[in-house]
Structure 1
Amino acid sequence: MSSMESAPLPLQPSEADDIIQGVLTENKSKFKTPNQIGFYRRQKLLLPGQSLYHAQLDTFKIDDEGASLRIIHQDTNVPYQLQVIALKGGIVRLKIKEFSPLKSRYEVSDVLIKETATERFSVSKQESDNVVLDYQNGLYKLHIAAYPFSVTVTQDEKALLGINSQGLLYFESGVSSPPGSVATVGDIDAPQDSSKEEFGLWKEEFGDFLDRSLTSVGLDFSLHGFEHVYGIPEHADTHRLQDCGDSEVYRLYNLDVFGYSVCNKMGIYGSVPLLLAHKPSHTCGIFWLNSSETMVETHYKASLQTELSQAAPVTRKKKAVPMVDVRWMSESGIVDVFLLLGPAPQDVFNQYAQLTGTQAFPPRFSLGYHQCRWNYEDEADVEAVDSGFDEHHIPYDVIWLDIEHTDGKRYFTWDPVKFSDPLQMQKKLQEKKRKLVVISDPHIKVDPNYSLYAEAKEKGFFVKDRNGEDFVGTCWPGSSSYLDFTKPAVRDWYSSQFALDAYKGSTDALFVWNDMNEPSVFESPEMTMPKYVVHHQSWEHRDVHNLYGFYQQMSTSEGLIRRSGGQERPFVLTRSFFAGSQRYGAVWTGDNKAEWQYLKISIPMLLSLSVAGISFCGADVGGFVGDPEPELLVRWYQAGSFQPFFRAHAIRDSKRREPWLFGEGNTLLIKKAIEERYTLLPYLYLLFYRAHVSAELVMRPFWVEFPKNPETFGVESQYMLGSALMVAPVLVPGVSFLDVLFPGPGELWYNFRNYKCIKGQRKQKVGVTLDEIPVYQRGGSIIPMHTAVGKSTGWMEETPYKLYVALNSKGSASGELYVDDGHSFKYQHDRMFIYRHFTFQKNVLSCKSAENTGHFSRECILKKVLVMGLKKMPSEVNIISPGKEKTQVTFTYSHKLGLLTMESLSLDASADWEIHIVSS
């Protein structure tokens, strides 16, 4: 064994503590800089210019499955197969791979949900040097040029997207020198040029570790007319991707980065290789399906295009048109890319969901407030915290247990002293209609007496080293082996461990948190699994690295569904993720810090996750590392209460920070923020239903809701919750005013607390106090809310409703209410749900069945209606229901606010009715 393959010896407790302390120390030298990454250094030697790849158009073929042709590298003469596939729904797929690879290349599986139906291209032009394919009845054309090879996608004869227009197609095929020089095919581990070896092109050294790889691929894209691109999470950086200049690059490589730095392009816990480009007239996306380490460069520039002068049609002038060049570079695999052609933002979200699935519909309890820390000490501590919420009349739904709840960091076990009766502990929580979440990491303690380890070892379920032995690394338990979740049999077995008879001490009130699943391996290069270790079907870890956490969450989610006999929706939180992870649960932004800059950066981080398909996302409220000052904690609760996943979490050496520990005044402010979350649950639940069935975002950047308004394209300190609520969190200390953008010409915005109206589009200084953050309801929307809060969501199933009706400039509004049992799949299998549509037009508020409604019996009593923006005081208000006599309603009206308030109603929101507002 080389030094890089030596298995660590079992650790003594003091040694383990030293390692853990090292892990919890921020140290940038643990992680590579871009220039320490071999394949990136090699690809950067290829500069923009004329491509060395030519298309052999005499090999062009077309059929119902798509078009294909051969590409050849003019120096190496290595041939490649290009496939261009037209998918229904506005998606074009391009695949490039070798005809006869020296070694098989990994192609990502399990991320795409199904084979999407194809369309047939029509050929509108075919010559010796170019072919033009028509897509979607000629709306888009694909121009394939031969010398050099490139593809240009046009819409209405205008360039939209160029592929290999910079000549940066790159494909290492076992050649022993970089593209651009005379190369020979040979042993990739025996480079011919020793000077290049020393330069680090053919081997990669990092600390004591040595690695070799010569299988990287790359391709460039030019986005014409665009100057805003987004996506490719996860980075602690701005929502709009920055220009990478000469020395920066976005890295997609899942890493356990404790206390990560903000405004940084390095990869952290997860990765979604989806980039979106937006301009007022068009939105499109590039989905790069590759699970190996990937680098992405973005460059903003302007290209000169010739156009006719309106004054003199016979003359021409040059016009500067913005453009973004995007370069993708991956360590291994093939080129497999999907062009999502839009043209609207929601079209792109639909196209991506068509490929990778929509957000899983979560159980309702998981939208409540979660209380977590590393670690609640024992059962008495759990009971005391749980009781503390009741004593202070603060609602919450879930308490969490970190690694210390286990027997010596052995997952699926309980500490026999601190958690000696987990069933009774969970029973007490269930009696209060609350849940428990416990952690389950992918590393398994090397211990022959640990049944989970013994069984997995016997079955050969661990990742292997190069010698075929179980890979052993170091993590929380000390020496650990790692389950190979890429193997279907391992996932099936792991899922079975969540059965109640297998997971002793568990109940159906227990849900799961997957952490450390990048995977995190202490004392290993970049604290993750070495790239040379071997997975199912002999694939190296380098090929599947970014999929590891995706597969664990998939297996965990399936285990919880199986535990219930397929009846109950799971809840699984994961730290590591990939494209498609939205199908299995929630994601959070990892080990942030209790500092203002981390609250501020959390907004663009969550927006980037959202546009990449992961709607169920959040950041640890208060910051995981350190001790937040009270003002920061209050502001974080206020922001978090209007975000999809709402959890407070803290590191083990931080001060306790349950909501009532910061003085009576701060307790009341935190309580107010949490209670506001619970009153909003009907609206939030509707948003998650829409995310699940229609790929609509829960948390939205402004550019999604106002796609034709350039002023909104760079906004990332404000966001939309659905289409109806605009949130402007306070992100810096000690402020009494906030500059708030009210977007949309002609839009009306109503203060969510005092109902005052502001007209967009403009920026305005808004006064703020510590009591609350600015939240505004958009004119034209109707929001369903609860009239009161309970101890948890379980106590609120039949809590009455109220409607906030915010009229637009035309005096109309619309909204919806979705209700089901909150936990099962009956909404899906048996159509057991209530789905209502509210409209306000011509002074009539109507409640009708929404399209494709189901059947479900649940008391849905509407007690209160507020109508904002009503210009005249009514003379009377009447309720008209089918088969019933007209009923007059008592109301109040504020001339100053244009606010109509109807209280003490008793309307069935699951039935049809109308409220007629009569003006004299």
Structure 2
Amino acid sequence: RPSCSATTALISLGSLLLLVCGLWLLVTIFWLQAPSNRTGGGDGSRALPEPQACGVVPEAWRFDCYPERGVVVTRELCEARNCCFIPASSSPPAPGRNGVPWCFYPPGFPSYSLVSVNATDLGQTGTLVKTVKTYYPKDILTLQLELLYETDNRLRVRITDPSESRFEVPIAVPKATEKASSPAYSVELSNEPFGIIVKRTSTGAVLLNTTVAPLFYCDQFLQLSSSLSSQYIYGLGEHRSSFLHDIHWNTLTMWARDVAPTELTNLYGVHPFYLAMDEGGTGTAHGFFLLNSNAMDVVLQPGPAITWRTIGGILDFYVFLGPDPASVIGQYLEVVGYPAMPVYWALGYHLCRWGYGSSNATWDVVKNMRNYRIPQDVQWNDIDYMDRSLDFTFDPTAFSTLPDMVKDLHSHGQRYVMILDPGISSVQPEGGYWPYDEGLRRGVFINHTDGSTLIGKVWPGLTSFPDFSDDVTHEWWYDNLKRFHDKVPFDGLWIDMNEPSSFVDGSTVGCPDTELENPPYTPGILGGLLRAKTLCASAVQKTSSHYNMHSLYGLLEAKASARALKRMLGKRAFVISRSTFPSQGQYSGHWLGDNRSHWKDMYTSIAGMLTFNLLGVPLVGADVCGFSEQTEEELCVRWTQLGAFYPFTRNHNSIDQKPQDPPAFSPAACSAMKQSLLLRSSLFPLLYTLFHRAHTHGHTVARPLLFEFPKDVRTYGIDRQFLWGKSLMVTPVLDPGVDYVVGYFPQGLWYDYYTGDSIRSKGEELRLKAPLEHINLHLREGAVIPTQRPNTTLFVSSGQPLHLVSSLSEDGSAGGELFWDDGESIDTFETDQYAHVVFTVNTMTSEVLHDHVEASYITVETASFYGVKVEPTRVMVNSHDAAFTYRANQVRLGVRSQRLSQPYSQ
């Protein structure tokens, strides 16, 4: 509401001031409470809003009434929609705009009314009706509301069409069987106009308020707006941006698209979930998830408020109450599924490039890495290994020794991964092509509406596209993988181009002129058409039209691939996918796409990594040193240091660039890269344990500082630093030509990981030395982290004894844990085939919480204690004297004892 302060400067009489303000308030209430007085009759006619009603809406709370792109909105166009037209104080935004809307909804714009509410076993149901149609076609005038109090910290709301079945996203979500007994939320329903207000019962904080703008529910246009609890919003993937989203008229479009990471562009994946911090630095947080796969715009505005605008499906959303950020993510993953436990070698160093040219050239790179004794667990090949770019083939000339190379990798404890694209060549090469022939016979390909196979164009030329929503396709996919594995025993899959991407719009014969191809409203997707560089929206899949299924394509291909690998290998599946959707973490990891060799790309990769950890895909990383354009030595060194702390670490570059594997650079640069990769290998026990926590509890692996310090508002925007788990802080150099980095240290005691030197922070930024060969790591007080002596592969490293590093709190205490299994068997936690050890420091003790044969392989060789204030005169290990060292300036105690080298049975 506008204040009366400007009026008081002109009118000094207090009584007159009260009268003016009172009349103004009455007018405002009238327009909010009595929309029937401003609407026409049953013919759908509406009167224009009164100017005074428009004038009371602050700019920050103006919701766009004319969101179509490429249209210069005039007063006539706006008022034809019975909306307010007021030029904003700023200059008019350009088409495809982000800015204060000039055309916006007046108070009391016709919307739905709640006409009945009934209690159910799980919550409430209600009926919504409206009598005035909107300006989008096929209005649905009667809706069904369903409120489901599923758990004390999870509310589900469904708004559906009771007269007709509409598309719903085909992923499994939990079904509540009883109503929450003590919900942490309260729900208020507004009748006229309809709205939902969700509050946190402990504080009264409003987490959701949909009364701020009208609800739309048309066949191809659904819109829901709400206030936000604060400006601190995260998630809403996949977009290239800072970790903390900008709420100043920021539109995030979602529709899976093959495009190099670019700001303000819909990218490879679709994740309509956000995490929001509550106002006031309370440390509480909540989440919101819209279960919808159709093309959509998500608009953030400075109210703060959000608008969801989608062109199909239903409104099916969840509110998660936390109360802390980590709990919100765990509650979200209870719905979409916890991530899979990765096979151990997935956490090693991966090397790839597009353009090795031959299997012998690839093999030479591997041998060179071995000669330099640089850690490498996995070698990859891009599409150049294929025969004429055909899936499930390899070039019989240039890659004739590929099977021998893979055999050699296996003999050295290394693994092999190759790329697969979903596009299957529809042009018959000489001798036929079994994947296409058999696919036609089984009917696995996506079709046009007339039943003919849709043909696009990808690397091999004309291609057809498997329909992974069909179980028949899964079986065909498995058969193809098995046939190829018999020739080249690969270990994992890299599935690319699966938005799905095509080099032509729609198909080689175009797309029909239908409502699916040309909806009344098209979100701000790159290219302006749903079919831009992908398939026709009207294309037919078994589950539904591509219009509904498009953004699910990468998820369903990943699901088919993971299932096939488990069945074929009898081990955990390793799949890395470009396109993703909620629940993806159950089946694959993700890399952040075709980035560039720029310093900015290295910086934004941190935000991408943190965001995907929020989204339940913790096995994530960016192409180290950059994919396209030529990298620089300094950039590659710094990026390798940062990449050593991606949960998924792969160096990959393009065909037209020079090699960028570590030996390709100067001896000094190669040495710096090697040291960072050895450091990663030494921390494998910690990283593996963090992935166990992600798999079993929905925790993040790479973690924003705000998760551990949610009451420290200064952490809310930090995306140049991050944590592994709760205790290891990484502060990389992200700028060229510097030998220092500035990092923020939340309040508490921190220790230099390498030296044990302590920093007592009040919550402050500190300048840290960072020569080219060094990445800053700090341990938070109170931690015990397990490490191992590194080697060139994790297979060797994981057999080494442990070294425990303890960072003592002020009272001398610390704690940590280790999860250990064979690293590759399926469901070891679920079938009790693992060891779980908890470490505690006052007197250093360990407790085996779960014993298994794996525990017999765990030995401890050494231990270090940071923060020992007084030099000890004697150290005992299992009641026996042990040798130790003490350096007062580093406040570090090192202990070595043969007693620690015994198998870990207690």
TM-score by length of 2: 0.83
**1:916 equivalent in structure 2:** none
Partner of 1:271: 270
Deviations along 1:545-604, one digit per CA (max 9) or x if unpaired, are: 11010100110011100102xx31010000000011011121011000001111111111
Structure 1: runs of 5+ lacking an equivalent: 1-32, 121-134, 174-214, 302-323, 881-885, 914-920
Task: Specify the alignment match of 2:251 in structure 1.
Answer: 249
SS at match of 2:873: strand
Indicate which of 778, 783, 786 corresponds to 2:785. Answer: 783
Alpha-carbon shift at residue 898 of structure 1 (Å)? 1.5
SS in 1 for 2:113: strand
Task: Give 2:413's aligned residue.
Answer: 433
The alpha-carbon distance between structure 1 residues 457 and 869, as it changes in their structure 2 partners (threshold 3 A), is same
Matched, 1:510 2:488: no
Distance 1:579 1:118 in 2: 23
Q: Report the 3-state secondary structure (helix = DSSP H, G, I; strand = E; otherwise coil) of the residue aligned with 1:600.
A: helix
CA gap of 1:50–1:161, structure 2 versus 1, over 3 A, is farther
Would you say 1:236 and 2:254 are equivalent positions? no
One-letter code of the match for 2:193? P
Counterpart of 1:347 (choices 307, 311, 327) is 327
Contact preservation (8 Å) 1:798, 1:858: no
Distance in 2, Cα, partners of 1:459 & 1:411: 18
Please say if residues 360 and 401 of structure 2, whose CA atoms lie closer than 8 Å, have aligned partners that are also in contact.
Answer: no
1:404 equivalent in structure 2: 384
Q: Deviations over 1:294-351 (max 9, x none)?
A: 11111233xxxxxxxxxxxxxxxxxxxxxx3111111211111111121111221121
Change (3 A) 1:912 1:461: closer
Shift of 1:605: 1.5
Give the Cα–Cα distance (whole angstroms) in 2 for the partners of residues 853 and 513 of structure 1: 35
Cα offset for 1:503?
A: 3.9
Q: Which has the higher strand share?
A: 1
Task: Tell whether 2:563 aligns with 1:558.
Answer: yes
Which has the larger displacement, 899-908 or 639-648?
899-908
What SS does the corresponding residue of 2:784 show, helix, strand or coil?
strand
Spell out the pairing of 1:688-837 with structure 2 (5 A cutoff): 688-743=691-746, 745=747, 747-760=748-761, 761-787=763-789, 789-825=790-826, 827-837=828-838
1:581 corresponds, among 578, 584, 590, to 584
SS of 1:385's equivalent in the other structure is helix
Cα drift, residue 89 of structure 1: 4.8
Trace 1:321-340 onto structure 2 (pairs within 5 A): 324-340=304-320
2 CA distance for matches of 1:51 and 1:807?
61
Give 2:178's match in structure 1, choosing from 112, 115, 119.
119
State the secondary structure of the residue aligned to 1:513: strand
Please state if 1:895 is matched with 2:899. Answer: no
User: Who is 1:483 aligned against?
Assistant: 466
Shift of 1:70: 0.7
Structure 1 residue aligned with 2:63: none
Contact 1:144–1:150, Cα closer than 8 Å, also in 2: yes
Q: Specify the code of the residue in structure 2 equivalent to 1:663.
A: S
Stretches of 4+ aligned residues off by more than 6 angstroms: 41-46
The sequence identity of aligned pairs, in percent, is: 29
For 1:358 and 1:424, how far apart are their aligned partners in 2? 37
Paired residues, number? 776
Residue of structure 1 in register with 2:223 after alignment? 218
Residue 123 (structure 1) aligns with: none
**Matches for 1:571-720 after TM superposition, within 5 Å:** 571-720=574-723
Note the alpha carbon deviations across 1:418-439, whole angstroms, 9 max, x for none.
2224332211110001011011
The answer on whether the counterparts of 1:621 and 1:646 sit within 8 Å (CA) in structure 2 is: yes
Equivalent in 157, 165, 170 of residue 109 of structure 1:
170
1:94 aligned partner: 157
2:873 equivalent to 1:872: no
String of CA shifts for 1:127-185, please: whole Å, max 9, x gaps. xxxxxxxx643642100111110111122372422342222321113xxxxxxxxxxxx
Report the Cα distance in structure 2 between the residues aligned to 1:822 and 1:70, rounded to whole angstroms: 53
Shift of 1:707: 0.8
Report SS of the residue matched to 1:794. Answer: helix
Distance in 2 separating the partners of 1:411 and 1:722:
39
**Alignment partners' CA distance in 1, 2:776 and 2:441:** 58
Deviation of 1:389 (Å)? 0.9
Query: Is there any run of 5+ residues in structure 2 with no aligned partner, and where?
Result: 1-66, 73-77, 84-100, 134-139, 507-526
Asked whether the 8 Å contact 2:149–2:183 carries over to 1, the reply is no
Whether contact under 8 Å (2:857, 2:904) holds in the other structure is no
Contact 2:682 2:797 in 1 (8 A): no
Partners of 1:871 and 1:163 lie apart in 2 by 53
Whether 1:165 aligns to 2:211 is yes
SS across alignment from 1:907 = helix
**Structure 1 residues 456-503: Cα deviation after superposition (integer angstroms, max 9, x where no partner):** 11222111123221111111111101111122221232133322x464
Out of 46, 49, 61, the position equivalent to 2:118 is 61
Distance 2:852 2:214 in 1: 53
Structure-2 change in CA distance of 1:48 and 1:693 (3 Å): farther
Letter in 1 for 2:646: Q
Cα 1:160–1:492 shift into 2, 3 Å: farther
Structure 1 match to 2:28? none
Per-residue deviation at 1:56?
A: 3.5
Residue 148 of structure 2 corresponds to residue 85 of structure 1: yes
Alpha carbons of 1:83 and 1:662: their partners in 2 closer, same or farther (altered >3 Å)? Answer: same
Amino acid at match of 1:351: Q
When normalised by structure 1's length, the TM-score is 0.82
- 1:796 positional shift: 2.2
1:653 CA drift (Å): 0.5
Give the direction of change, closer, same or farther, for the CA distance of 1:50–1:703 in structure 2 (3 Å limit): farther
Q: Which moved more, 1:45-54 or 1:660-669?
A: 45-54
Structure 1: distance between partners of 2:693 and 2:903: 19
Determine helix, strand or coil for the equivalent of 1:874.
coil
Give the CA deviation at 1:538: 6.6
Structure 1 residues 717 and 510: CA distance shift in structure 2, 3 A: same
One-letter code aligned to 1:108: V
For 1:22, the equivalent position in structure 2 comes to none
C-alpha separation in 1, matches of 2:786 and 2:408 = 32
Q: CA deviation at 1:797?
A: 3.0
Q: For residue 53 of structure 1, what is the amino acid of its counterpart? A: S
Indicate if the aligned counterparts of 1:531 and 1:540 stay in contact, CA closer than 8 A.
no
Q: Deviations over 1:606-660 (max 9, x none)?
A: 1111112111110000000011110000000000101101000000000012211
Q: Where does residue 35 of structure 1 map in the other structure?
A: 69
The alpha carbon displacement at 1:672 in A equals 0.6
Amino acid at match of 1:694: H
Q: State the secondary structure of the residue aligned to 2:453.
A: coil
Larger CA deviation: 819-828 vs 366-375: 819-828
Q: What is the CA–CA distance in structure 2 between the aligned matches of 1:51 and 1:163, rounded to whole Å?
A: 16
Mapped partners of 1:440, 1:142: distance in 2? 48
Residue matched to 1:847 = 846
CA offset digits 1:251-306 (Å, max 9, x no partner): 11111113x33xx22111112111110133321011011111111111233xxxxx
Q: Distance in 2 between matches of 1:871 and 1:574?
A: 49
Alignment-derived partner of residue 199 in structure 1: none
The answer to whether structure 1 residue 863 and structure 2 residue 866 are counterparts is: no
What is the Cα deviation at residue 909 of structure 1?
7.3
Contact 1:847 1:911 (8 Å CA) reproduced: no
